[in-house]
Structure 1
Amino acid sequence: MKIRSSSTYLLLAIALLSSCEKYLDGTQLPANTIAATDVYSSDNMVSTVVTGVYLTMNNSGAFAGSANANIGYTMSLYTDELRALVSGNFADVFYKNAIQSGQSGHWSDIYKKLFTINTAIEGINTSKGKLAYKDQWLGECYFLRAYFYCYLVNIYGPVPLALTNDYAVNNRLFRAPEADVYKQIIADLKIAQSLLSNEYRNGYGVSTNNRLRPNKAAATALLARAYLYAKEWANAEAQATELINNTNYDMVPLSSVFLANSKETIWALAPGSPKPAYEYAFYNNGMPATITPPQGPNSSFVYAALSNHLINAFEPGDARFSEWVRTPTVATSPETVYRFPAKFKSPANNAEYQVMLRLAEQYLIRAEARAMQNKSNAADDVNAVRLRAGLGELPAGSQASLLAAIMKERQTELFTEGGHRFFDLKRIGAIDAVMATVAPTKPTTWKSYMAYWPIPPNDLLQNPNLEPNPGYLQ
């Protein structure tokens, strides 16, 4: 975990804000920037720091628009959702399950963001300034800390719980058990729930229609997920129910799910400047429906298509396949057909945002939580998702068959979104069985240690108490 000073991060936030001032006015972020000695003495100054975290999410690491880093893209390649179309480029590292210790950049990037968050929490709590929106800024910080740890623990397993900006403490931390990490995630989200309002607010603390900064519902959604992953079924059900009953959210037609600020969106991330959604660039990028040789998908800088494993998971008549899958052809003889994710369709700037949390997941969380408690109404939530997809209700069956059906619905509903498939396969203990079948088609060889990604060697050198994940060369 590399440590930076708080002043370094303030300067970074100011620079980032300055680079996109026009876009930021009236959306998720504040338009103005400031420079002062006391970083946390006013709402504008605090907002600049917190806002800088969202901007760095867009500009680096797991949630950015770079295909060789974006979690949804790389983890879909890593598992059974995508297949690489070009050999020897960045996609091969993930597709062939060939990540080496020096190629796992999310660890350092997320811990840098956590340092900024921890510094902000301390600064806001000890500020002597009159902060009108103190609860908002603190709530966002606790939410973001929980969100980042959700990804760290699912990618790397046990991880150090850095909850301070004291480098002397952080650089000596041992890896905390996964159960302890989830306890911290849940604790942070409960605080976030208590601080955040039901409204969405922008970087000025003003109410907005843009669902681009977390509110109480976002904290509730992530808390439902955390409880599910921690196997606290009753709590997961209760949190998901709170959202499902909230009239500000609803499952919308498939064609509208990913439109900016759709009623299904609980929280989304906007690009740092006006542009189409990242996922549009990953899988479409203006590629014509009919491609004339010698052109191919790579001519549009598209390097991955849906795998046959995912294509075959869709039932006949599933409207998600017709609505969320695009099928360009290459005019060869016989023609070559490709299938690409098409959840994000618009080339227009800001017509769609990167959706981080949405309501359909909450139905599937509640379905699984109820099934694990052997509740008779568990199938109702799966059927709500299936009904929107134009599919019939599930037949009556055992708990095991219902849980298998829920996992299948998660596969076809949440594909290529945020690493869901990778995390699901691991948490239900199915990763080895699935990848043993998938890996030979890539072709590569799957080994159990690959379920957790390697920790960067530099971080292992800096912290003598940090143990590496097994199986990787250090």
Structure 2
Amino acid sequence: MKMIFHTDHNLPKSLLTVAAMLTITLNSCESYLDGTQLPANTIAATDVYSNDNMVSTVVTGIYLTMNVSGPYTGNANGNIGSTMGLYTDELKSLLSGNFADIFYKNAVQSGQSGNWSDLYKKLFTVNTAIDGINTSKGTLAYKDQWLGECYFLRAYFYYFLVNIYGPVPLALTNDYTINNRLSRAPEAEVYKQIIADLKMAQSLLGDEYKNGYGITTPNRFRPNKAVATAILARVYLYAKDWPNAEAQATMLIGNTNYEMVATDKVFLANSRETIWALATNSPKVANEYAFYNNGMPATITPPQTPASSSVFISLSSMLINAFEPGDQRFTNWTRTSTVSATSTTPAVTYYFPAKYKSPATNAEYEVMLRLSEQYLIRAEARAMQNKSTAVEDLNVVRLRAGLQALPDGNQATLLAAIARERQTELFTEGGHRFFDLKRTGVIDAVMATVAPLKSTTWQPYMAYWPIPPGDLLQNPNLTPNPGYLQ
């Protein structure tokens, strides 16, 4: 479906940008709109926010762009789960010299970090939408829903920016003349804004999931109050606000709409463990299936290799060794493929992520938030407060994985157990491992051991990725991250 707009070239650049963005062809938009179709009207740019249908088109367009660019893209060379997994100790590059090697060798250079520009483009659209919705003269029946989603998205995008790049410019308006001159805000200030936006989203969003027309739906594709709460719990944990992290996670854990399910059912479409999943803009298999499986057979006959199925990434030995014997996550969330022996080479068995294993379209969606993380958040927050109940939350995750419950221990022992559980529970999901290593202050120690195994070296500056040179040239107040060529 194609939206066509007549634009007034005397309008502000921000509004023209939104109008231009809305010319995008929204293929199969029912993924977000639940079978309904927005009308293909021709409207003036000044009417972009005049009714719910058009506001929905703007906000839905943001979700659709998340599928094609930035940290959540369906391309393995941009998806944050695969790139961060390669960058740390989760994944291994199988083919020297391709995109995977850049991340695997910790060799990301200026101009190769596309998330910066992509996320700021998305933030510009979100800020423009917030302003347009708030100043709309039309009657918007679902104004709170659209605004709540926008505040959530702004917080979500900034969560990734601050964790990838450290201090970042805090652009909160759609005035590009201001945004292009912003200095980098301290991380604490960015987190403060993220928390404020998430609280705003909580106040505006309801308990039910809504579709693109603001109607209740069983699909968990658009943020509701629980989605905002889940990210707020995570952000409080990152900000070391242990009581609030515990309180927000408790809200999710006590919500009967969500429950832990068996490991072989966690990533199925509309699993009750899912808090939020990112729908695709057209029927397709889950991104991770294409990255790590793509129809690759369990036995490969030379000269065929995993690359013959366009699979270039496998699990690292470090992650494989982190699993305890009998862990059902290792059984259900990994798979093997063996390249048969030849007269000159022995057989080689590779391990691959298999959280998403169905070749059927829309059988699985990319899970952005799920309940098990909330148990691990609360376990860590409680451990940091020396609460004995911390081990109970940890054991909920362990018992679901078929492992024995751990006894209560001292704080250091318990935190180490939680860190290991996060490693084996959340691997290849949303950059968790990279962010966990940084926020707990152990990334340099861990990567000093990991880097030699990858035949590379690690330097502390690599904990933050480079800012694109073009942005540094355009904004005289923007300073680079150290260590990178400009």
Place the TM-score, normalised by the shorter chain, in its bin. over 0.9
Name the SS for the 2:369 alignment partner.
strand
Equivalence for 2:4? none
Name the SS for the 2:25 alignment partner.
helix
Q: CA deviation at 1:4?
A: 6.7
User: Are 1:322 and 2:298 matched, yes or no?
Assistant: no
Give the ranges of 4+ consecutive aligned residues of structure 1 lying more than 6 Å apart after TM superposition: none
Name the SS for the 1:83 alignment partner.
strand
Which of 37, 43, 50 is equivalent to 1:36?
Answer: 43
Q: CA deviation at 1:267?
A: 0.5
User: Are 1:157 and 2:169 matched, yes or no?
Assistant: no
Letter paired with 1:230? A
Equivalence for 1:217? 226
CA contact (8 A) 1:280 1:342 kept: yes
Equivalence for 1:5? 14
Equivalence for 1:418? 430
Output the CA distance in 2 between the equivalents of 1:314 and 1:273: 35
Q: CA deviation at 1:396?
A: 2.9
CA contact (8 A) 1:306 1:339 kept: yes
Cα deviation code 1:229-254 (max 9, x no counterpart): 00000000000000000000001111
Name the SS for the 1:100 alignment partner.
coil
Equivalence for 1:26? 34
Equivalence for 1:184? 193
Name the SS for the 1:328 alignment partner.
strand
Output the CA distance in 1 between the equivalents of 2:323 and 2:32: 40
Name the SS for the 2:72 alignment partner.
coil
Identity between Structure 1 and Structure 2 (%):
73
Output the CA distance in 2 between the equivalents of 1:131 and 1:113: 23
User: Are 1:343 and 2:350 matched, yes or no?
Assistant: no
CA contact (8 A) 1:34 1:45 kept: no
Q: CA separation of 1:50/1:35 partners in 2, compared to 1, >3 Å: closer, same or farther?
A: farther
Output the CA distance in 1 between the equivalents of 2:333 and 2:183: 43
Q: CA separation of 1:149/1:34 partners in 2, compared to 1, >3 Å: closer, same or farther?
A: farther
Q: CA deviation at 1:8?
A: 2.9
Q: CA separation of 1:32/1:259 partners in 2, compared to 1, >3 Å: closer, same or farther?
A: farther
Equivalence for 1:128? 137
User: Are 1:83 and 2:95 matched, yes or no?
Assistant: no
Is the deviation greater in 148-157 or in 165-174? 165-174
CA contact (8 A) 1:291 1:331 kept: yes
Equivalence for 1:377? 389
Name the SS for the 2:455 alignment partner.
coil
Equivalence for 1:352? 364
Output the CA distance in 1 between the equivalents of 2:310 and 2:18: 33
Letter paired with 1:113? K
Letter paired with 2:325? P
Which of 415, 419, 425 is equivalent to 1:407?
Answer: 419
Output the CA distance in 2 between the equivalents of 1:391 and 1:427: 27
CA contact (8 A) 1:85 1:303 kept: yes
Output the CA distance in 2 between the equivalents of 1:145 and 1:401: 36
Output the CA distance in 1 between the equivalents of 2:13 and 2:62: 14
Is the deviation greater in 53-62 or in 141-150? 53-62
Q: CA deviation at 1:391?
A: 0.4
CA RMSD in angstroms, aligned pairs only: 1.3
Output the CA distance in 1 between the equivalents of 2:13 and 2:293: 38
Q: CA deviation at 1:168?
A: 1.3
CA contact (8 A) 1:20 1:273 kept: yes
CA contact (8 A) 2:379 2:391 kept: yes
Equivalence for 1:289? 298
CA contact (8 A) 2:32 2:211 kept: no
Structure 1 gap ranges (5+): none
Letter paired with 2:157? F
CA contact (8 A) 1:22 1:31 kept: no
Output the CA distance in 2 between the equivalents of 1:469 and 1:187: 26
Q: CA deviation at 1:464?
A: 0.6
CA contact (8 A) 2:14 2:175 kept: no
Q: CA separation of 1:292/1:151 partners in 2, compared to 1, >3 Å: closer, same or farther?
A: same
Equivalence for 1:457? 469
CA contact (8 A) 1:4 1:115 kept: no
Letter paired with 1:137? W
Which of 264, 284, 308 is equivalent to 2:273?
Answer: 264
Equivalence for 2:308? 299
Cα deviation code 1:263-317 (max 9, x no counterpart): 0000110111100000000000001111111111101100000000000000111
Output the CA distance in 2 between the equivalents of 1:103 and 1:368: 34
For residues 33-182 of structure 1, what are the structure 2 equivalents within 5 Å? 33-37=40-44, 38-182=47-191
Letter paired with 1:461? L
Output the CA distance in 2 between the equivalents of 1:396 and 1:127: 55
TM-score (norm 1): 0.97
Alignment coverage as a number of residue pairs: 470
Cα deviation code 1:296-340 (max 9, x no counterpart): 110110000000000000011111001101011111153210100
TM-score (norm 2): 0.95
Q: CA deviation at 1:10?
A: 3.2
Is the deviation greater in 146-155 or in 285-294? 285-294
Q: CA deviation at 1:24?
A: 5.5
CA contact (8 A) 2:220 2:270 kept: yes
Output the CA distance in 1 between the equivalents of 2:358 and 2:39: 30
Name the SS for the 1:225 alignment partner.
helix
Output the CA distance in 2 between the equivalents of 1:107 and 1:155: 9
Name the SS for the 2:43 alignment partner.
coil
Q: CA deviation at 1:126?
A: 0.6
Equivalence for 1:364? 376
Structure 2 gap ranges (5+): 1-11
Output the CA distance in 1 between the equivalents of 2:461 and 2:63: 32
Which of 198, 209, 227 is equivalent to 1:200?
Answer: 209
User: Are 1:467 and 2:475 matched, yes or no?
Assistant: no
Letter paired with 2:350? Y
Equivalence for 1:253? 262
CA contact (8 A) 2:152 2:198 kept: yes
Equivalence for 2:9? none
Q: CA deviation at 1:343?
A: 0.2
Cα deviation code 1:159-178 (max 9, x no counterpart): 01000001111111111110
Output the CA distance in 1 between the equivalents of 2:197 and 2:163: 17
CA contact (8 A) 1:30 1:203 kept: no
Q: CA deviation at 1:76?
A: 0.2
Output the CA distance in 2 between the equivalents of 1:176 and 1:348: 44
Q: CA deviation at 1:31?
A: 4.1
Q: CA deviation at 1:151?
A: 0.1
Q: CA deviation at 1:210?
A: 0.6
Output the CA distance in 1 between the equivalents of 2:155 and 2:295: 36
Letter paired with 1:377? T
